[in-house]
Structure 1
Amino acid sequence: MPFVRTAVIKGTGPQQRQRIVDGIHQALVDSIGMPQDELFNLVVDYDPEQFFYSRTFNGVARSDQLIVIEITMRRGRSDAMKRELYKKIADNLGARAQVRPQDLFIFMHENDYSDWSVGSGKFAMELVQQLGNTSAV
């Protein structure tokens, strides 16, 4: 279950936020096989005077609309899967939210099941994963 924290410049409207979240989410579904109903994305604002960054680091021309995407998920995805994820995020946000790929700064934290509690204060390894809505027979 990835947890995503997305930082956008203050003043980003609700529709744009939704398009950004949807684009990131679909990239996770398409590239790492995340179930469709595993959506956890905390969108936060930053004031321009609170975030200092290089506009030219590594030859990338960044604007004042930089979006920071921080993904925390269970360890085990290959470099190829991560590369595909980053590309799909950039493609999706370009197409859905008109975000320049140069204005995306993405990084990942990996950990293990023992580092999660996803509900009811229970150790995640003790819970059976529920996929979507199921009905009792």
Structure 2
Amino acid sequence: MPLVRIDLSSTASPKLRQTVSDVVYDAMITVAKVPADDKFQIVTGHAADELVFPREGYLGINYTDGIIFIQVTWNAGRSTEVKKAFYRKIADDLHAKASVRKQDVFINLVDVSPENWSFGNGEMQYAPKQ
């Protein structure tokens, strides 16, 4: 049920875009235990002035123009430990597979309740059982 938004530079190669997509999907399946084939992603390239971040850094982390914003909206209920492992796997794998700086991997999770999804047909597939 996750919806993933990946925002990165428009200069990012198709290979990098695919690698980010694959790494996030792999972490969703292996760490967050999302069902296989539950892959809904929007990958968007942006001009330099459309990716806004603190050039002087934040919380001791310095960013570059290679920053990648990853936002995952998914059902609430995962533990803090699962979320930490999810963040770590994505940053580690992007670094290992695409030489992305770990500092440039920005991840935001949005926890929602199951009834906030419609996968089509105007239906609430995860409607509460009455």
Query: Are 1:35 and 2:35 counterparts?
Result: yes
Deviation at 1:2, TM superposition (A): 0.9
Deviation at 1:95, TM superposition (A): 1.5
1:20/1:96 contact within 8 Å kept: no
Residue correspondence of structure 1 range 39-118 to structure 2 within 5 A: 39-55=39-55, 56-118=57-119
Alignment correspondent of 2:23: 23
Deviation at 1:16, TM superposition (A): 1.2
Deviation at 1:115, TM superposition (A): 0.4
Structure 2 residue runs without a partner (length 5+): none
Paired AA for residue 92 in structure 2: D
Residue correspondence of structure 1 range 116-131 to structure 2 within 5 A: 116-125=117-126
What's the RMSD between the two structures over aligned residues?
A: 1.1
Paired AA for residue 90 in structure 2: I
Deviation at 1:74, TM superposition (A): 0.4
3-state SS of paired residue (1:81): helix
Deviation at 1:11, TM superposition (A): 1.7
Alignment correspondent of 1:131: none
Give 4+ residue runs of structure 1 displaced > 4 Å after superposition.
none
Deviation at 1:36, TM superposition (A): 2.3
Deviation at 1:4, TM superposition (A): 0.4
Q: Residues 81-121 of structure 1, C-alpha deviation per residue, up to 9 Å, x if partnerless?
A: 10000001111111222211100111011111110001222
Alignment correspondent of 2:6: 6
2:9/2:51 contact within 8 Å kept: no
CA distance in structure 2 between the aligned counterparts of 1:52 and 1:6, rounded to whole angstroms = 14
Paired AA for residue 16 in structure 1: L
3-state SS of paired residue (1:87): helix
Paired AA for residue 10 in structure 1: S
TM-score (norm 2): 0.91
2:10/2:47 contact within 8 Å kept: yes
Query: Structure 1 vs Structure 2: percent identity of aligned residues?
Result: 33
Deviation at 1:15, TM superposition (A): 1.4
3-state SS of paired residue (1:125): coil
3-state SS of paired residue (1:92): helix
Residue correspondences, number? 126
CA distance in structure 2 between the aligned counterparts of 1:26 and 1:120, rounded to whole angstroms = 28
Question: Which structure shows the higher helix fraction?
Answer: 1
